Chain A
Amino acid sequence: MGVSESYERGRDLFQSNPIGFVLGLAVVILVLDMVRKLVTGDVTVARFGLVLKAGVMRGMVIGLAGIGLSLTYSILNFANFAHGDYLTSGAFSGMAVSYLIAGNFGRDASIGALLLVGTGGSVFGGALGVGAVTAPVAVLAGLIVAGVATIGLTLLVDRYVFKPIRDRSGITLLITSIGVAFVLRYLILFVFGGSKRGVTAEQPSLSVGVPGGAVEIGTHDVALFVVAGVLMAGIHLLLQNTKLGKAMRAMSDNEDLARVTGIPTERVVRYTWIIGGGLTGVAGYMFVLWKGTLGFFDGWLLLLLVFAAVILGGIGSIYGAIVGGLVIGITFSMAPIWIPSAFGRAAAFVVMIVILIVKPEGIFGGTSTA
């Protein structure tokens, strides 16, 4: 390909989508600058690896939670502000069970302290040995309960809060979901207490030597990666290969059309909550297992990042949610290389705002629930 030809192509690209072109250029410049920093040693390979790993891990959590948000956003047509507190609910319910099992059902500490996840420092996860290697049964049971309990919660909330006003506008539902978020978050605070607590014990990890230090890969990094990966693959197969998946895609495209075609829309809505709630609960549990601390505000803090991921990927697209989650997670973790670390979260929001302005339908936009 000659120089003039590629120049022509570049000019065409610029003319067809100038803002996208500028954005692409910005990304290329940042990548090149990253390479320069690595070569000159401004940023060691070890730090780069560590930051990238943290970003991917956080991205997996955001992506997993984002699938649920994206499905309900496109099928029920509203932005659910209670989604962050579904994450928190999953984390607390799962951790309560993990504590209970790791604490031998009250033999190591009082049942109350275990079920309240050590409220007020009454018992510590580290002392109980909560972790994927030190207490695999506790973690597996916690994982399952986190999913099941959150499914139950979302169905309950849907039945009594969202279903009676299903036919109202998306904004009405959005405002209502803010009410749900308040109720859930502060009930959790009321029951479990407000302290931010450590919940896991030290787990074995693998140290990979790279120039400038080492990148540590812990058990919970692997656990999070495997769980999230398996669930993402599963949801892909479900949506592509089953009748339910087809019905969900049809509903997010056009609800009225789906109904006259004979799709039982209420049943599809219920399955949407089941899938979304389950994934969200598991995401919440894996998130606290991975970062090792638990507080009643965790889900709410993650919510805006999840929104960012979903909008970035395009509402209704589960691949969009996954890719968006990774982009947002990596942005969040990598931004402190260039800007003060207080602005990592802000950088992720800016990416979202820019996407909303430039390409409101998202990168995978147009293809609903596929």
Chain B
Amino acid sequence: MSDATDSQGLAGRLWGRDPVKVLALLAVIYAVYIALGLAIGFEIRGQINSIATLTFYIGVFGIMALALNLHWGYTGLFNIGIVGFMAIGIYTMAVVSKPAAETASQVGGLGAPLWVGMLAGMVAAAVLGLLVALPALRLRADYLAIVTIAFSEIVRFTLLSRTFQEFRIGDRTIGLGGGSGLLLPFNPLQSFLDVTRLNVLQDALVGLAEPIIGGNADAVINSFLYGVLLLVIVAIYYVVLTRIGRSPFGRVLKAIREDEDATKALGKDTNVVKTKAFMLGCALMGLGGVLWYMQSGAITPNTFRPRLTFFIWIALIIGGAGSNTGSVMGGAVFAAALFQGPRYLQNLVESAVEVDAPSNFAGAVAPIFDSLSVNPFLFYVIDNVRQLQLVFMGLVLIWLMHNRPSGMLGHRKEAAASVSLTRRPAGQTTAADGGRPGAGGGDGDE
């Protein structure tokens, strides 16, 4: 290799590394948001707030897409009941960890420590995953899809029903709260920071921010720190799932995705492996649900409608099923461009012009014919961004399935083999893995 191409080669090699891709993507997203924030004319407080919200959604969608990737990307299990497992996770956690009710009319919990509740949430999600998996995993993919979505709706009806609203165990009143939901008196961030002694850092940040953004700086800083904590958890999910994917167990999963009968013929008990993978994914989804909602103050059953499941699916499909890097990037792109983006643009427009939106579609369309004035229609569009963004998500999904079915990174599915399956001509290295020598070559894709 000559000197001239060396620096180019270095940049190429650097770009070939997946964490670099993820960090570059995040940098671009944050740059755009900060620029937009400046355009809106946010104070520094609003700026940090919007970045914190963005980070939160990048984190939760990354976590959920990674968990789904274990089901769909690795094992080929078509699970569209994700919200069901999320709901079980957070509700179990709430019942286990909420303090006992002080008055008889309140719905209390068992008062266990926070981490016990989180663990219980994961276990409950895994156990219900087993309950679904036992009969359903031998079904065709489209049947599994219908069973899982029906299951997630059954979970929602159960949470909504008055039957389980509250009941007594011993002298405690616990329950699921019915349609009005549950209050969540948790402060997971503070507990975490106190336990890990990172609260020193938190105090320092607050002290630093106080002069700039004024009073009550800790609320802003805390929501920002929670977002950062979620990103750390995304990294942990990523490492764990990548290790699982490379393990012999992971290779069996990929083999099942490609051809279950062949895998069976090679002597693997595919039903057991699929059940394990499904339960593990469900536990991760349960934990995802806990992390998503535990600091939100309250939950209601109707949060867990199937459309949340489809959000996570779109995130995974954007990134490309089968790749953990793709999952994280898909989660980030979905959160920034499709989920938060339109709302952010709405803010942008509303801060620039006085939006005087008509109350219904007739009022929006009539002026076009009467006086060729499109402003009311545009205002109506701005006012209803939250509905139109779902239309847009649908269009993106259709476009992706037509044009990029394997996601933004292209074909990234890992082969179900421990050695590289691409033939290397003598003296040349394959482009896919950046030419890394040695035993790790086969895993260059990730």
Q: Which of A109-168 contact B (CB under 8 A)?
A: 110, 112-113, 115-116, 119-120, 122, 161, 164-165, 168
Known: A186-B394, A190-B391, A342-B157. A116 touches B360 (CB 8 A): yes
Q: Which of B363-396 contact A (CB under 8 A)?
A: 363, 365-366, 384, 387-388, 390-391, 393-396
Majority secondary structure of chain A interface residues (helix, strand, loop or mixed): helix
* CB proximity of B311 to chain A, nearest CB, Å: 10
CA of A304 to CA of B362 in the docked complex: distance in angstroms? Answer: 32
Contact A311 B143 (CB under 8 A): yes
- Confirm or deny: A352 has a beta carbon within 8 angstroms of a beta carbon on chain B: yes
Q: Hey, which chain A residues are within 8 Å of B151, CB to CB?
A: 349, 353
Contact A182 B393 (CB under 8 A): yes
Known: A178-B310, A342-B160, A349-B154. A311 touches B146 (CB 8 A): yes
Known: A340-B163, A357-B136. A171 touches B142 (CB 8 A): yes
Interface size bracket, A side:
35 or more
Contact B401 A176 (CB under 8 A): yes
Among A79, A120, A176, A182, point to the contact of B391 (Cβ < 8 A). Answer: A182
Q: Hey, which chain B residues are within 8 Å of A116, CB to CB?
A: 360-362
Q: Hey, which chain B residues are within 8 Å of A179, CB to CB?
A: 393-398, 401
Contact B395 A183 (CB under 8 A): yes
Known: A122-B360, A175-B317, A182-B391. A112 touches B366 (CB 8 A): yes
Known: A182-B397, A342-B160. A79 touches B139 (CB 8 A): no
- Confirm or deny: B293 has a beta carbon within 8 angstroms of a beta carbon on chain A: no
Contact A175 B401 (CB under 8 A): yes
Q: Hey, which chain B residues are within 8 Å of A194, CB to CB?
A: 387
Q: Which of B124-149 contact A (CB under 8 A)?
A: 135-136, 139-143, 145-147, 149
- Confirm or deny: A338 has a beta carbon within 8 angstroms of a beta carbon on chain B: no
Majority secondary structure of chain B interface residues (helix, strand, loop or mixed): helix
Q: Hey, which chain A residues are within 8 Å of B162, CB to CB?
A: 340, 342
* CB proximity of A316 to chain B, nearest CB, Å: 13
- Confirm or deny: A48 has a beta carbon within 8 angstroms of a beta carbon on chain B: no
- Confirm or deny: A193 has a beta carbon within 8 angstroms of a beta carbon on chain B: yes
Q: Hey, which chain A residues are within 8 Å of B366, CB to CB?
A: 112
CA of A353 to CA of B133 in the docked complex: distance in angstroms? Answer: 12
- Confirm or deny: B196 has a beta carbon within 8 angstroms of a beta carbon on chain A: no
Contact A172 B401 (CB under 8 A): yes
Known: A175-B317, A179-B394, A356-B139. A191 touches B361 (CB 8 A): yes
* CB proximity of A143 to chain B, nearest CB, Å: 24
Contact B145 A174 (CB under 8 A): yes
- Confirm or deny: B405 has a beta carbon within 8 angstroms of a beta carbon on chain A: yes
CA of A143 to CA of B153 in the docked complex: distance in angstroms? Answer: 31
Q: Hey, which chain B residues are within 8 Å of A192, CB to CB?
A: 361
CA of A50 to CA of B405 in the docked complex: distance in angstroms? Answer: 49
Contact B365 A112 (CB under 8 A): yes
- Confirm or deny: A225 has a beta carbon within 8 angstroms of a beta carbon on chain B: no
- Confirm or deny: B346 has a beta carbon within 8 angstroms of a beta carbon on chain A: no
- Confirm or deny: B424 has a beta carbon within 8 angstroms of a beta carbon on chain A: no
- Confirm or deny: A295 has a beta carbon within 8 angstroms of a beta carbon on chain B: no
Interface of A with B (CB < 8 Å)? 78-79, 110, 112-113, 115-116, 119-120, 122, 161, 164-165, 168, 170-172, 174-176, 178-187, 189-194, 304, 307-308, 311, 340, 342-343, 345-346, 349-350, 352-353, 356-357, 360
Closest 8 CB pairs of A and B: A112-B362, A182-B394, A179-B397, A342-B161, A183-B394, A179-B398, A186-B390, A349-B150
Residue contacts A-B, CB under 8 angstroms, 23 given: A112-B362, A119-B360, A165-B402, A176-B401, A178-B310, A179-B397, A180-B398, A181-B394, A183-B394, A190-B361, A192-B361, A304-B150, A304-B153, A307-B150, A340-B161, A342-B161, A346-B153, A349-B151, A349-B153, A350-B154, A356-B136, A356-B143, A360-B139
Known pairs A112-B366, A116-B362 / 7 extra A-B pairs, C-beta < 8 Å: A179-B396, A184-B394, A193-B361, A308-B150, A342-B162, A352-B146, A356-B135
Interface of B with A (CB < 8 Å)? 78, 135-136, 139-143, 145-147, 149-151, 153-154, 157-158, 160-163, 307, 310, 313, 317, 359-363, 365-366, 384, 387-388, 390-391, 393-398, 401-402, 405
